[in-house]
A and B are shown apart, each in its own frame.
Chain A
Amino acid sequence: MPTTPASQRPAPRPRALRSTGWCLAMALVSLPATADTAAVVQDHILPGFTSFAEATQSLADIQTCEPDSLRPAFHAAWDAWMQVAHISLGPAEKDGRGLAVLFWPDAKGSGWKAQRALLESPPAADAMAQQSVAARGLPALERLLYPTEALPSDPCPLIQATADDLAATADGLAQDWGAFGALMQTAGTAGNDRFLTPDEATQALFTQLATGLEMLADRRIGRPLGSFDKPRPDLAEAHASARSLRNITLSLTALRDLALTLDPDSPKTQSAFDHAIALADAIDPQIDGLADPQTWLKWEILQQAVRTTRETAIAELGPALGVELGFNSQDGD
């Protein structure tokens, strides 16, 4: 896939001219700032957070602590999260709610340490929000539904409290996206101090795409990949519930949806995503297979394909949307 280094890319902000026209046109009919932002908010983000809230509520509504009964709803909730896990701006930033849904990687094992204490004296559901973010959310539920060691006491109260808390967090995210989505769609209008111009909202979504692909390559794939001499499948996300590769595939499809909603006319990006997804589909989902050199190479090729997808999307969508990644955040000093 051909990619263009930053220095050779077309001049940034060509859209300044275009968006002046947009601004005037839109102001007259008081429509959303730019079509791409509105499409992503309405077709990608809002339905995604609504589905996540519904899936977590369904999980919380199950009145049993039997792991076999809870596991399908647990997987449905994690599946739903993967549709929006990359949307980290706005409501997910507030009070660390993104971390409270998915605290991973947990490099120091702080989640399990905190949960062991909570198993001894389970908090009420509404007190879970005051607990460490590492002890909440999907990985916390996973440790209770797929324990890798004998649990020191009956996990039932903590399972229920954790599931209720997760549903409450998801509901808060969905609710807050109503107002924040409106803020994005009125980017550049008077009084909107969060998005001063229409381009700022587009750039924020474009950045989520690039960051999501980076996180996928560096963490979801990179951490278990380790090195050829020392693969670390034990470090994979959702290792215990055996959904590590599933999360990678779901993340790719969700990010592809984001990219093509931002700009439906992105053939190179679409093809790069399709290629990466095909590579992921061809890998044995047994994450412990990473110890096998042949499998390890497949994972590494997948990681490279995700990085290529990122470069392709930046090179294709950036100029088309008239935005670029952060001037300072990409610099480093």
Chain B
Amino acid sequence: MQRRTFLATLAAGLAPRLTWAAIGAPAFLAAGKRGEDFFLHGLSASGASLFQIALPGRGHAAAAHPTRAEAVAFARRPGTFALVIDCATGATRHRLTPPEGMQFNGHGAFSRDGTLLMTSEVVAETSEGRIGLWDTANYSRLTDWPSHGTGPHEIKRLADGRLAVANGGIRTDPVDRAKLNIAEMRPNLTLLSEDGALLDQIDLPDLHQNSIRHLALQGDTIAFAMQWEGDPAEPVPQLGLWTPGAAPRLCTPPEAEAFTMQGYAGSIAATPDRVLITSPKGGAVMFFDASGAHVATHHRPDLCGAAASGGAFTVTDGQGAVWLADDNGLVPLADGATQWDNHLVALT
């Protein structure tokens, strides 16, 4: 808090838009709950909180501006607002509201130069997916694109500007999140051009109840994490790898670990030679190599947030701990009273 006050003072006296480096170069953003209150935190590489900013309700994921110390915090689905937060001062700079009849769906991504924010959205009544475009100069709404699927969740910008969209396939009730089309759901993974044109798309006809929800990038390959909505007694993969132009590869753990993740991957992160998925329901993380072969499993209840930074993986859990994760195990970095929420976002 002292630091925040100091920073606020500093910010007030200087140009209003500081860079991430100027506020202590946090490595990650994470939403969390402490007592009955919700916050967005900036975390150091060693898991220490560098700043915390109060949120009006439970956060889901955040998107970090590539240079400015500015984060967009998304509420849980169905989201009627997102907050653009000045991480130097803690001030809410803008409150983004989707157009009438639309809802935010949990995630967003900035263009590489930071001039555009893209948000995953649904038409509330039908869950038809849209990608909202915002001008980050003043966070005005520019337009939106079709996401070419139902219920888009995470979106990820590739290095060359293309946008990967996880269309989860699930139509939800606009008010209570009830899932309405489990029998007929059809998720897909869509690749859009920088201008929003449809470039490529894959789906999983044999696993159409495996909702594609979260994404990580490994070079030109899009790693995608899934959540199974079918019979929980069926062993299904939670991870797939797709290099556009080739067929997707599904990554299956050994038979004895077929149910470790309980059909549910909550977050995904990748380095050049490893992909990690977390399962809070299964209380586990799994490592796979770049070919999709299972490497290791580690257990810890309620793990969910995951990010890769500097070639290493950091994961967070709902019990308040931050961990370094590698093939050999989990090493605690920090532990406190803040329960870390679904996602850990790397600032790279």
**Chain A residues engaging chain B, CB cutoff 8 angstroms:** 11, 13, 16, 89, 93, 95-96, 99-100, 105-108, 132-134, 193-194, 196-197, 200, 203-204, 207, 218-219, 223, 326-329, 331-333
Query: Which of B60, B233, B258 has the most CB atoms of chain A within a 10 A radius of its CB?
Result: B233
Other contacts beyond A93-B260, A327-B33, A328-B317: 11, CB < 8 A: A11-B35, A96-B254, A196-B319, A223-B233, A326-B281, A326-B302, A328-B303, A329-B280, A329-B281, A331-B76, A331-B280
Write out the residue numbers on chain B whose beta carbons fall within 8 Å of the beta carbon of A333: 60, 76-77, 106, 153, 213, 266, 342
- Contact with B301, one of A99, A100, A134, A204 (Cβ below 8 angstroms): A204
B60 to chain A: closest residue by CB: A333
Give A133 to B321 CA distance when docked, in angstroms.
Answer: 33
Interface pair A329/B233, CB less than 8 Å apart:
no
Interface pair B255/A96, CB less than 8 Å apart:
yes
Whether a CB of chain A sits under 8 angstroms from the CB of B341 is yes
Give A142 to B308 CA distance when docked, in angstroms.
Answer: 47
Query: Which of A99, A219, A331, A333 has the most CB atoms of chain B within a 10 A radius of its CB?
Result: A333
Give A245 to B302 CA distance when docked, in angstroms.
Answer: 32
Among B328-343, those with CB < 8 Å from A are 330-332, 335, 337, 339-342
Once A193-B332, A203-B301 are accepted as A-B contacts, the answer to whether A99 and B280 lie under 8 Å apart by CB is: no
- Measured between C-beta atoms, what is the minimum distance from A165 to chain B in Å? 13
- Measured between C-beta atoms, what is the minimum distance from A38 to chain B in Å? 19
Query: Which of A93, A105, A329 has the most CB atoms of chain B within a 10 A radius of its CB?
Result: A329
- Measured between C-beta atoms, what is the minimum distance from A260 to chain B in Å? 23
Interface pair B256/A326, CB less than 8 Å apart:
no
Whether a CB of chain A sits under 8 angstroms from the CB of B36 is yes
Write out the residue numbers on chain A whose beta carbons fall within 8 Å of the beta carbon of B266: 328, 333
B264 to chain A: closest residue by CB: A332
A100 to chain B: closest residue by CB: B256
Whether a CB of chain A sits under 8 angstroms from the CB of B93 is no
- Contact with A328, one of B227, B259, B342 (Cβ below 8 angstroms): B342
Interface pair A93/B255, CB less than 8 Å apart:
no
Closest 4 CB pairs of A and B: A96-B256, A327-B318, A328-B280, A326-B302
Once A99-B256, A327-B318 are accepted as A-B contacts, the answer to whether A207 and B342 lie under 8 Å apart by CB is: no
**Chain B residues engaging chain A, CB cutoff 8 angstroms:** 33, 35-36, 60, 76-77, 106, 153, 213, 227, 231-234, 254-260, 264, 266, 280-281, 283-284, 299-304, 317-319, 321, 330-332, 335, 337, 339-342
Interface pair A328/B332, CB less than 8 Å apart:
no
A325 to chain B: closest residue by CB: B302
- Measured between C-beta atoms, what is the minimum distance from B341 to chain A in Å? 7
Give A106 to B319 CA distance when docked, in angstroms.
Answer: 33
Query: Which of B106, B255, B284, B332 has the most CB atoms of chain A within a 10 A radius of its CB?
Result: B255
B227 to chain A: closest residue by CB: A332
Give A301 to B5 CA distance when docked, in angstroms.
Answer: 58
Give A223 to B60 CA distance when docked, in angstroms.
Answer: 34
Interface pair A95/B256, CB less than 8 Å apart:
yes
- Measured between C-beta atoms, what is the minimum distance from A213 to chain B in Å? 16
B318 to chain A: closest residue by CB: A327
Write out the residue numbers on chain A whose beta carbons fall within 8 Å of the beta carbon of B299: 89, 93
Interface pair A13/B337, CB less than 8 Å apart:
yes
Interface pair B233/A105, CB less than 8 Å apart:
yes
Interface pair A107/B337, CB less than 8 Å apart:
no
A-B contact pairs, 26 of them (CB 8 A): A95-B256, A96-B254, A99-B256, A99-B258, A105-B233, A106-B233, A107-B233, A132-B255, A133-B256, A193-B331, A196-B319, A197-B319, A200-B319, A207-B301, A326-B301, A327-B33, A327-B302, A327-B340, A327-B341, A328-B302, A328-B318, A328-B340, A329-B302, A332-B281, A333-B60, A333-B77
Classify the interface of chain A: helix, strand, loop or mixed.
loop
- Measured between C-beta atoms, what is the minimum distance from A17 to chain B in Å? 11
Interface pair A328/B234, CB less than 8 Å apart:
no
Interface pair A107/B234, CB less than 8 Å apart:
yes
Interface pair A99/B319, CB less than 8 Å apart:
no
Interface pair A326/B318, CB less than 8 Å apart:
yes
Interface pair B331/A327, CB less than 8 Å apart:
no
Interface pair B337/A196, CB less than 8 Å apart:
no
B260 to chain A: closest residue by CB: A93
Once A196-B335, A327-B33, A327-B318 are accepted as A-B contacts, the answer to whether A96 and B301 lie under 8 Å apart by CB is: no
Interface pair A196/B332, CB less than 8 Å apart:
yes
A11 to chain B: closest residue by CB: B36
Write out the residue numbers on chain A whose beta carbons fall within 8 Å of the beta carbon of B319: 196-197, 200, 203, 327
Interface pair A193/B330, CB less than 8 Å apart:
yes
- Measured between C-beta atoms, what is the minimum distance from A292 to chain B in Å? 26
- Measured between C-beta atoms, what is the minimum distance from A6 to chain B in Å? 12
B329 to chain A: closest residue by CB: A193
Write out the residue numbers on chain B whose beta carbons fall within 8 Å of the beta carbon of A203: 301, 319
Write out the residue numbers on chain A whose beta carbons fall within 8 Å of the beta carbon of B331: 193
Write out the residue numbers on chain A whose beta carbons fall within 8 Å of the beta carbon of B304: 328
- Measured between C-beta atoms, what is the minimum distance from A10 to chain B in Å? 10
A329 to chain B: closest residue by CB: B280
B303 to chain A: closest residue by CB: A328
Write out the residue numbers on chain B whose beta carbons fall within 8 Å of the beta carbon of A132: 255
Give A99 to B255 CA distance when docked, in angstroms.
Answer: 10
Write out the residue numbers on chain A whose beta carbons fall within 8 Å of the beta carbon of B332: 193, 196
Write out the residue numbers on chain B whose beta carbons fall within 8 Å of the beta carbon of A99: 256, 258-259
- Measured between C-beta atoms, what is the minimum distance from A208 to chain B in Å? 10
B305 to chain A: closest residue by CB: A328
Give A196 to B334 CA distance when docked, in angstroms.
Answer: 10
Write out the residue numbers on chain B whose beta carbons fall within 8 Å of the beta carbon of A89: 283, 299, 301
Give A218 to B262 CA distance when docked, in angstroms.
Answer: 14
Give A276 to B281 CA distance when docked, in angstroms.
Answer: 26
Give A148 to B339 CA distance when docked, in angstroms.
Answer: 51
Give A22 to B36 CA distance when docked, in angstroms.
Answer: 24
Once A203-B301, A326-B301, A329-B302 are accepted as A-B contacts, the answer to whether A96 and B257 lie under 8 Å apart by CB is: yes
Interface pair B280/A326, CB less than 8 Å apart:
yes
Give A106 to B280 CA distance when docked, in angstroms.
Answer: 24
